[in-house]
Amino acid sequence: MNDTTATLRRGTVVVALVLAVVVPLLLSDYYQFEASEIAVLAILALSLVLITGFVGQISFCQYSFAAIGAFTVGSLSGGHHWSYWLALVVAVAFSAVVGILVGIPALRLSGLFLAILTVAVALFFDRFLLAPGTWDSFSGGLEPWRIGRPSFFGIKLDGPYAFYLFTLGAFAVVAWLVWNLRIGKTGRVLRAIRGSEIAASMIGIDVTLWKLAAFGLSAGLAGLAGGLLAADIGAVSPPSFDFLHSVTIAAIVTVMGVESIGSAAVGALALIGGPELLTHTPISPDYFQLIVGVVLIVQLVFAPQGVVAKTAEDVKKLIAKRGGDHTSLSPNATTQQMTKVHT
């Protein structure tokens, strides 16, 4: 069964990558710019997959971590003329540290209370820290930070397609790293912690340390997305990091399936592509949030594991039926196998 699944997965990844490289080439500058935004948001969505999908911790403040990344890059690179890359490294580290700090009170919370804590963090950033007059040397006050497009090993990334390829590459690398974590010891330990913190600690797992590491890693990824977004848009200002964005991206990632890495990419595509599609219909793009809400309810009822995860399962089942052999993953086969073992 693993062979078929692995081949299928590899095939999907290769096709998706080829499409992701080729399709924007045929599109206008504007859509190429949107494509780079999708790649960056996919990294942000991955940060959610890590903290919510792997460890089961709800977060409504991923855009706040992204904001730390973006404004660190903005103030250092735009305000103090640092190299973009150096600023980006500092941005990721700073976001990770703030993520760990948020993780400390979060250690004792879960479910609803954790959700409320992250909402409080998001509102603190949104309404206080980034508000003009609070910390203008970080937030830029009323003036947005201006950031030029960086060069990547001598290649100037100023064309929209060049920058898109760079962000796509960044997403691919991050997705590969997160995938490796998922299939390795880290993924196993984090899933164990999500399953039962007490049982995990009874077999020697340092639950506190791993949870803080996951918060730090997730926030660091979000900060990376923020720093890339700053260079992508070329300007950083507080409205781009409004609290509601955090809620929308959490909703979209949930709809797609919060445990899967593929759903981060599809989710980001929907997040940018959805409103874009609506502009070609009589419905105003302002209704996008409403549509996401309705879809979320439908998904939670009919496909609680998420749309992407459900599709993957259905495809697997379909192949199993076609093959009609041992590849089946259906509960039936499992019981049969089990009875065999038992008797």
The β-bridge relationship of strands 151-152 and 155-156 is antiparallel
Residues 207-246 that bind another protein (CB under 8 A): 207-208, 213, 217
222/93 Cα distance (integer angstroms): 11
331 binds another protein (CB under 8 A): yes
Contact by Cβ (8 Å): 258, 306: yes
188 binds another protein (CB under 8 A): yes
Q: Which is nearer to another protein, 213 or 236 (CB)?
A: 213
26 binds another protein (CB under 8 A): no
Helix, strand or coil, per DSSP, at residue 281: coil
302/137 Cα distance (integer angstroms): 48
We find the least distance from the C-beta atom of residue 97 to another protein, in angstroms, to be 16
71/138 Cα distance (integer angstroms): 6
CB-side exposure of 16: number of CA atoms within 13 Å?
16
Among 20, 43, 130, 200, binds another protein (CB under 8 A): 200
189 binds another protein (CB under 8 A): yes
From 29-37, 124-132, 196-204, 284-292, give the range in contact with another protein by CB under 8 A.
196-204
Q: Which is nearer to another protein, 116 or 177 (CB)?
A: 177
44 binds another protein (CB under 8 A): no
Among 14, 199, 283, 294, binds another protein (CB under 8 A): 199
From 77-85, 163-171, 198-206, 286-294, give the range in contact with another protein by CB under 8 A.
198-206
157/92 Cα distance (integer angstroms): 20
52 binds another protein (CB under 8 A): no
Q: Which is nearer to another protein, 61 or 217 (CB)?
A: 217
337 binds another protein (CB under 8 A): yes
121/106 Cα distance (integer angstroms): 11
180 binds another protein (CB under 8 A): yes
**Nearest Cα to Cα of residue 40 among 83, 11, 73, 15:** 73
Q: Which is nearer to another protein, 173 or 294 (CB)?
A: 173
Among 108, 198, 239, 325, binds another protein (CB under 8 A): 198
Here the contacts of 204-209 (C-beta below 8 Å, separation 24 or greater) are: 208/107
Per the rule left: phi > 0, alpha: psi between -120 and 50, beta: everything else, 81 is left
Among 52, 186, 218, 237, binds another protein (CB under 8 A): 186
**DSSP track, 47-95:** HHIIIIIIT----S-HHHHHHHHHHHHIIIIIIT---HHHHHHHHHHHH
293/30 Cα distance (integer angstroms): 28
Q: How many residues bind another protein (CB under 8 A)?
A: 34
185 binds another protein (CB under 8 A): yes
From 57-65, 74-82, 173-181, 221-229, give the range in contact with another protein by CB under 8 A.
173-181
Where do contacts with another protein occur on this chain (CB under 8 A)?
177-178, 180-181, 184-189, 191-192, 195-196, 198-208, 213, 217, 331, 334-335, 337-338, 341-342
